[in-house]
Amino acid sequence: MTTPLVEMKDISISFGGIKAVDHVSVDLKPGEVVGLLGHNGAGKSTLIKILSGAYAMDTGEIRINGEKATINNPRDARTYNIETIYQTLALADNLDAASNLFLGRELVSSMGFVDDDAMEAETRKIMARLNPNFKKFKDPVSALSGGQRQSVAIARAVYFNARILIMDEPTAALGPHETQMVSELIQQLKAEGIGIFLISHDIHDVMELCDRASVMKNGKLVGTVDVADVTDDDLLGMIILGKKPGES
Amino acid sequence: MEDQAKSMMDKLGLDARLLGMIGALVVIWLVFGFFTDWRFLSPRNFFNVSVQTASVAVMATGMVFVIVTRNIDLSVGSLLGFIGMTVAALQVQWLPSMLGLGHPMIWVIAVIAAVLMGAFLGAIQGWVIGYLTVPAFIVTLGGFLVYRGAMWWVTKGQTQAPLDPVFRLLGGGAEGTLGETLSWVFGTIAALVAVGIMLLSRRRKATHGFTVKPVWAEGILMAMAAGLIIAFVWIMNSYPIPRGAMRRMTEARGIEYTDGMVWNHGIAIPVVILLAVTIVMTIIATRTRFGRYVYATGGNPEAASLSGIDTRLLTVKVFALMGALTGIASIIASARLNAVDVGLGTLDELRVIAAAVIGGTALSGGAGTIYGAVIGALIMQSLQSGMASVGVDAPLQNIVVGFVLVLAVWIDIVYRRRAGV
């Protein structure tokens, strides 16, 4: 059996006495897509923000490639090749696509100055692959459409050779055509051996794209199932009633 | 016709806001020129306005970063006074008693002390804002009171004068300029550098295969940049030094003064300092990681911290930089007056904020340029000098400046809404 890429064991975090994540364990293997499901406020986003370094967990353990990992901030997460596409996209609206793509990891010239031209050239290359229609390289991202903004956020995660990718509702703001593009991208990244946590509301997305699904309710893990073994209704039952398939 | 003009502007790549500000400046100059028999447009007046603008403009470049990161600094006027008084006491009382009166290191120590003191006090304010999360408005309102009070305690309210003779040159005046020859050298080098930078940028863009501006557009821009610099030097070099100062200066240099002799001022040293600050701050804003993080944090603080930017430390740095620039401004202001009384810097915080805001810095954060703030300061100073020269009373001057500030921000809001940015 291969070593899991990520193991999050017995993770807990509270905010002001409310247990947002309560002793949850999930794992992710190379080339696998694991869906995280649950209502709003179930704790999915919070759990994932612990892995991406935005929140520090109260108790628990994270292992990357079987080794204990210390992730205290987003920089730490990036050193483990964990990249995140946030639901809010986390773009600085006043900056252009290249500045956002390289935010925190700017390309610099030999003199140590930010090299905007080199960053724009790299951005043009990756956009030609991800979204060939993307042309607005000079405009601030506030001037872009929802789909274009999404592709900037995706490009940022993909460009830096992520090995672990977290996607929080990646298709929520997209039209059908762009959603299809994201699906194809996920398949392609999976084939390259990247592990993906996919947070979604949409059961059909999960059934189509994921290998396994972990369902959360009220901060607790209801269970993790192989998608091939369950039906839509089984997953719905887990989300709404918080019971595993087969339980009465 | 209109479309043609618009496409030409597009090709030149000048933004409408910059053109609007320059247009407003020219209108102000022409109106006051008309009402003063064109005295307002004399080399003498341009020289004076340039010197008077320097102190506020230096601080305004720092205020851009403060406001871009969604903060405010109400303490800069008081801090300028506190630093000015401390550094004046250093020159008038403390250092002469330690090193001896007229020691050549006095002005150097005074300058370093001013900048360090500003950076240190700014960093403390930034730390309280960033790490203890007290709103900037409150922290700097506290600083506004604390520094003004502390200023009094330095000398128990005593005015400090006269300042060190070399230090005094940093404030301008007949002696405090580059002089004619050096001004031409300075202007020529500046024009060449400006053209060189534009050529280099063009070549770099071409090697990446980006579309570049048409050659004629680039040529016009280069000619404009070089022309503006040379025109400025020419104006400064057309303002003769008054006879009294000439006698003093010729004597100091061991030259015999004769009646027909004419020396011109050239560029004032505070203006050279302002230009240096403007260039350095522009490089920081557009070409360094720190500058990029300032704008990213202003645009979306959450995105910035998710990208691994330490926004708390960034706040400390921004306020430390603001403090250091206030130190430089304090040097210029006190050297120009050759004395520091307890009123130095009063209301400067409002002039500085107004300059940054008139220059297009958005109080909502994320947007603002260094050159905009400097032009904003120049507009404010032109208005005040102009009103003074046509004999408008001081209270009415304040009323007009107040209205202009609100009007400028309203125009900016309308512009942003139309441009959709």
pLDDT of residue B421: 54
Residues of A in contact with B295 (CB under 8 A): 92, 94-95
Q: Is the pLDDT of residue B393 over 60?
A: yes
Average pLDDT of chain A, as a whole number: 89
Q: Is the pLDDT of residue B8 over 80?
A: no
Instruction: Choose one of A143, A161, A179: the last residue of a domain.
Output: A161
Q: Are residues A117 and A138 in the same domain?
A: yes
Q: Are residues A171 and A137 in the same domain?
A: no
Q: Nearest residue on chain A to B309, judged by CA atoms? A: A104
Sign of CA dihedral A151, A157, A158, A159: positive
Size of interface A-B (CB pairs under 8 A): 84
Which pair of tokens denotes residue A21? Answer: 């994540």
* Whole-number Å distance between alpha carbons of B54 and B47: 11
CB of B205 within 8 Å of a chain A CB? The answer is yes
CB of A103 within 8 Å of a chain B CB? The answer is yes
Do B296 and A73 make contact, defined as CB atoms within 8 angstroms? no
Which pair of tokens denotes residue B412? Answer: 């900016």
Q: Are residues A100 and A150 in the same domain?
A: yes
Q: Is the pLDDT of residue A247 over 70?
A: no
Q: Are residues A103 and A117 in the same domain?
A: yes
Do B305 and A99 make contact, defined as CB atoms within 8 angstroms? no
pLDDT of residue A97: 94
Residue A244 C-alpha, separation from nearest chain B C-alpha, in angstroms = 35
Lowest-confidence region among A53-67, A91-105, B241-255: B241-255
Q: Is the pLDDT of residue B337 over 80?
A: yes
CB of B417 within 8 Å of a chain A CB? The answer is no
What is the DSSP secondary structure assignment for residue B255, as one 8-state letter? -
**DSSP-based three-state secondary structure for A51:** helix
pLDDT of residue A241: 83
Q: Are residues A198 and A177 in the same domain?
A: yes
CB of A74 within 8 Å of a chain B CB? The answer is yes
Sign of CA dihedral B148, B153, B155, B158: positive
Q: Are residues A247 and A209 in the same domain?
A: yes
Do A74 and B295 make contact, defined as CB atoms within 8 angstroms? no
Residue numbers of the domain that contains A144: 95-161
Q: Are residues B256 and B287 in the same domain?
A: no
Do B292 and A143 make contact, defined as CB atoms within 8 angstroms? no
Residue numbers of the domain that contains B228: 177-267
pLDDT of residue A147: 83
- Across the interface, which of A73, A92, A143 has its CB nearest the CB of B308? A73
Q: Are residues B259 and B275 in the same domain?
A: no
Q: Are residues A67 and A141 in the same domain?
A: no
CB of A52 within 8 Å of a chain B CB? The answer is yes
Residues of A in contact with B366 (CB under 8 A): 92-94
Residue A218 C-alpha, separation from nearest chain B C-alpha, in angstroms = 25
CB of B420 within 8 Å of a chain A CB? The answer is yes
Instruction: Choose one of A120, A145, A161: the last residue of a domain.
Output: A161
The widest CA-to-CA distance across chain A, in whole angstroms, is 67
| Residue B115: partners with Cβ closer than 8 Å, 6 or more residues away | B324, B327, B328
CB of A45 within 8 Å of a chain B CB? The answer is no
Interface of A with B in 135-154 (CB under 8 A): 140, 142-143
Selected for mutation to probe chain A from B11, B207, B289 (highest A CB count within 10 Å) is: B289
CB of B309 within 8 Å of a chain A CB? The answer is yes
CB of B187 within 8 Å of a chain A CB? The answer is no
pLDDT of residue A1: 58
CB of A88 within 8 Å of a chain B CB? The answer is yes
Q: Are residues A226 and A112 in the same domain?
A: no
CB of A78 within 8 Å of a chain B CB? The answer is yes
* Whole-number Å distance between alpha carbons of B250 and B259: 12
Which range of A71-80, A123-132, B167-176, B291-300 scores highest in mean pLDDT? It is: B291-300
* Whole-number Å distance between alpha carbons of B354 and B364: 15
Do A103 and B210 make contact, defined as CB atoms within 8 angstroms? no
pLDDT tens digits along A226-238: 988 888 888 888 8
Which pair of tokens denotes residue A231? Answer: 């039906």
Whole-number Cα distances in Å, A237 to A203, A220, B186: 12, 15, 78
Note whether residue B402 is domain-resident.
Answer: no
**DSSP-based three-state secondary structure for B15:** coil
Q: Are residues B314 and B332 in the same domain?
A: yes
Q: Are residues A151 and A228 in the same domain?
A: no
CB atoms within 10 A of CB B275: 18
Q: Is the pLDDT of residue A164 over 90?
A: yes
CB of A160 within 8 Å of a chain B CB? The answer is no
Residues of B in contact with A113 (CB under 8 A): 283, 287-288
Whole-number Cα distances in Å, A223 to A35, A43, A218, B156: 12, 14, 13, 74
Note whether residue A202 is domain-resident.
Answer: yes
Q: Nearest residue on chain A to B307, judged by CA atoms? A: A104
Q: Nearest residue on chain A to B419, judged by CA atoms? A: A143
Q: Are residues A75 and A179 in the same domain?
A: yes
Q: Are residues B336 and B375 in the same domain?
A: yes
CATH number of the domain within which B322 lies? 1.10.3470
Instruction: Choose one of B232, B267, B302: the last residue of a domain.
Output: B267
CB of B3 within 8 Å of a chain A CB? The answer is no
Using left for φ > 0, alpha for ψ between -120 and 50, and beta otherwise, residue B327 falls in: alpha
What's the rounded mean pLDDT across residues B18-38? 92
pLDDT band at B420 (very low <50, low <70, confident <90, very high): low
Query: Do residues B60 and B373 make contact, with C-beta atoms less than 8 angstroms apart?
Result: yes
pLDDT band at B269 (very low <50, low <70, confident <90, very high): very high
How much of chain B is helix, strand and coil, in % rounded to 5?
Answer: 75, 0, 25
* Whole-number Å distance between alpha carbons of A156 and A110: 23
Note whether residue A59 is domain-resident.
Answer: yes
Instruction: Choose one of A161, A181, A199: the last residue of a domain.
Output: A161
CB of A14 within 8 Å of a chain B CB? The answer is no
Query: Do residues B321 and B72 make contact, with C-beta atoms less than 8 angstroms apart?
Result: no
Between β-strands A212-217 and A6-15, what pairing exists: parallel, antiparallel or unpaired?
unpaired
pLDDT band at A2 (very low <50, low <70, confident <90, very high): confident
pLDDT of residue B112: 97
Selected for mutation to probe chain B from A73, A75, A88, A103 (highest B CB count within 10 Å) is: A103
Query: Do residues A199 and A167 make contact, with C-beta atoms less than 8 angstroms apart?
Result: yes
Q: Is the pLDDT of residue A248 over 60?
A: no
Note whether residue B105 is domain-resident.
Answer: yes
pLDDT of residue B60: 98
Do A92 and B208 make contact, defined as CB atoms within 8 angstroms? no
Note whether residue B199 is domain-resident.
Answer: yes
Burial class (CB in 10 A: 0-12, 13-18, 19+), A248: exposed
Do B289 and A99 make contact, defined as CB atoms within 8 angstroms? no
Using left for φ > 0, alpha for ψ between -120 and 50, and beta otherwise, residue B254 falls in: left
Residue A99 C-alpha, separation from nearest chain B C-alpha, in angstroms = 8
Q: Are residues A219 and A179 in the same domain?
A: yes
Q: What is the pTM of this model?
A: 0.92
Note whether residue A90 is domain-resident.
Answer: no
Q: How many CA atoms lie within 13 A of A62 on its CB side?
A: 21
Note whether residue A88 is domain-resident.
Answer: no
Selected for mutation to probe chain A from B287, B307, B312 (highest A CB count within 10 Å) is: B307
Do B300 and A142 make contact, defined as CB atoms within 8 angstroms? no
Question: Number of structural domains, chain B?
Answer: 2
Q: Is the pLDDT of residue B3 over 70?
A: no
Do A94 and B367 make contact, defined as CB atoms within 8 angstroms? yes
pLDDT of residue B68: 97
pLDDT band at B9 (very low <50, low <70, confident <90, very high): low
Do B307 and A90 make contact, defined as CB atoms within 8 angstroms? yes
Here the ipTM equals 0.89
Residue B302 C-alpha, separation from nearest chain A C-alpha, in angstroms = 7
Residue A52 C-alpha, separation from nearest chain B C-alpha, in angstroms = 8
What's the rounded mean pLDDT across residues B367-385? 94
Residue A8 C-alpha, separation from nearest chain B C-alpha, in angstroms = 20
